[in-house]
Amino acid sequence: MPNDINISNRPDDVWELKEIRDITVKEGDTLSAIITQYSIIHFRMNRDWYFKQVLELNNITDPHFIRAGDTLKIPIYIDKGIG
């Protein structure tokens, strides 16, 4: 895939939802760190688009307010370009 394609504008062309994992927030976790951890799995994915997916999936309106013990749903995608 060429580097100039903005994945956030064409997610369905490139990414397919494989599963949704439930994770438990640990003491000291931030939403940004959690999303970074999982978006690294998808090294070609637009991190901002992925962040928005997690916010919407979990009905989060304030990304700075998560607590230890909360359960988050994290989407796991497969890259259609890699197979």
pTM for the model = 0.72
List the CATH number of the domain containing 24.
Answer: 3.10.350.10
Query: How many Å separate Cα 64 from the centre of its chain?
Result: 16
CB burial string 22-48: b at 16+ within 10 A, e below: eeebeeebebeebbeebbeebeebbee
β-bridge pairing 15-24 and 71-79: antiparallel
Q: Which residue type is seen at 80?
A: K
Is the pLDDT assigned to residue 33 strictly greater than 80?
yes
Q: Which of 21, 1, 23, 19 lies closest to 10, judged by CA?
A: 1
Domain contains 47: yes
Domain contains 63: yes
Domain contains 39: yes
Number of structural domains in the chain: 1
Q: Per residue in 52-69, pLDDT tens?
A: 889 999 999 998 889 999
Report pLDDT for 31. 92
Report pLDDT for 18. 87
